Structure 1
Amino acid sequence: MFSIIALFLYWLDDEKNVIEKEDITLHLLIINGSPRKSGATAKILTYIHEKLCTMDSELEITHIDLSNYNLKLCVGCMGCYKTGYCFIQDDGVERLRSLIDQCDGLILGSPTYTSNVSGYLKILMDRGYFIFEQLLRNKPCFSVITYENAGGKKAQKILNEFIHYSGGSVSGHYRKKLNHGSEVLNKATEKTIDRKCAQYLVRAKRTMSLSVLEIVMRAIVFHVGLRRHAMKNPVRYKAVIDRWNNKGYTQTR
């Protein structure tokens, strides 16, 4: 029975075939969610940046430290769902959201705080209205988590689920346990990251970066969860529904 439902949802999804990306320049966005610009997470993300550039000199990569922004907390007004923008306009979140929307692939990194992502990254996740607008739709994403004691696996699960719920594909992930102040990069670490970067780049250039399972998951999240909920109150979710229609997300066979 589950197989039948999965096949139906796979058929229902209208975006199994997306633009061929082999012959175009990929624009990747790297976001460091750590408050430390030279910490473990930052060093790993910088290494990934440099490695990807050596693997493909045609890549265009933008690298951002969230600690450069005075991010303000979400107040839960839900105005973004109706208007399509956050009323807080002076802290750079709307610019970050625009960069994420325009990029071809996203690499997110965070240290582990209380078995979760950092406060900086959590604010961006809350303020960016990623999930309802499906901001990561069809985007190949790479999650990086560092941790010292415990909780790293849970933090990565949270970040990966966020990517999936936002319509993206977890096309790569890396998790590293480190003692504070210890060596971040060594030959073994670099070898592992090199392999994961190569895999990510291949997946990012595929015609469709999402797996069948991810397509089914996205269909469930979108059609069963988000769409049904928004259609109950179309006035409140006007901007969200408009985006879905403009992007063709609501089209079914």
Structure 2
Amino acid sequence: MKVLLVNGSPNAHGCTFTALSEVAAELEKQGIGTQIFQLGKDPVAGCRACRACRKLGRCVVNDKVNEALALVPEFDGFVFGSPVYYASAAGQLSCFLDRLFFAGTSLFANKPGAGVVSCRRGGAATAFDELNKYFTISNMPIVSSNYWNQVHGSCAEEVAQDLEGLQTMRQLGRNMAWLLKCIEAGKAAGIAMPETEERIWTNFVR
């Protein structure tokens, strides 16, 4: 079993990376493989709403989204980390997730997901809520911890001093590992995944 952790910060080894690394270390202790995917500093385009990805199985804009999309089938769980900008997730990560989940919705179904946010002081709750919405619309179990999944600090060294935040990350790793093992045990016992009905699309214009 493997978990993909996406660092949505432009900084490769900053606050968000420090939080994700704590989660990854705990997952490894629990026998779960991990990989950290760095979004990087290159621009990530927003969705063009062309819907071509539904036919192609990939986005027409060839950037980090397609690189990550190709990895999704290999992994059993996902953690998406973001710095907090103006009480929201980082803009490039939001663009990345919009396109990743629209192009690969079926690939995420029934796989556990978790969001992690890092902030200097405020805005963590709203950014955390933003990330969780990608999971709740994609049939994904959400993995929780003993507190909301956030760390505080202006730099990696300060996050390393956030003992409560780091504990939250470790508990998140343990909970993710436990849920993955439960799903695996359920499959081995012959418990089928939930049946999915054909999607009904409606709007409010009649």
Q: Same fold per TM (> 0.5)?
A: yes
Q: CA deviation at 1:48?
A: 1.7
Secondary structure of the structure 2 residue equivalent to 1:183: helix
Q: Does 1:49 align with 2:49?
A: no
Are the aligned partners of 2:111 and 2:140 in contact in 1 as well (CA < 8 Å)?
A: yes
Q: List alignment gaps of at least 5 residues for structure 1.
A: 1-25, 210-217, 231-253
Q: List alignment gaps of at least 5 residues for structure 2.
A: 186-193
Q: TM-score, normalised to structure 2's length?
A: 0.79
Q: CA deviation at 1:130?
A: 3.5
- 2:116 pairs with 126, 129, 144, which one? 144
Residue deviations 1:114-138 (CA, integer Å, cap 9, x gap): 2221122112112224488333201
Secondary structure of the structure 1 residue equivalent to 2:9: coil
CA RMSD of aligned residues (A): 2.8
The CA distance in 2 between the partners of 1:103 and 1:70, in whole Å, is 25
2:44 — aligned with what? 71
CA separation of 1:125 and 1:203: change in aligned 2, threshold 3 A: same
Residue deviations 1:26-57 (CA, integer Å, cap 9, x gap): 0211100011112111111112212221232x
How many residue pairs were aligned? 190
Larger Rg: 1
1:247 — aligned with what? none
Q: Does 1:228 align with 2:200?
A: yes
- 1:199 pairs with 146, 157, 175, which one? 175
* 1:1-253 correspondence to structure 2 within 5 Å: 26-56=1-31, 59-67=32-40, 70-89=43-62, 91-130=63-102, 133-172=105-144, 174-179=149-154, 183-186=158-161, 187-207=163-183, 227-229=199-201
Identity, in percent, stands at 24
Are the aligned partners of 1:172 and 1:196 in contact in 2 as well (CA < 8 Å)?
A: yes
Q: TM-score, normalised to structure 1's length?
A: 0.65
CA separation of 1:189 and 1:149: change in aligned 2, threshold 3 A: closer
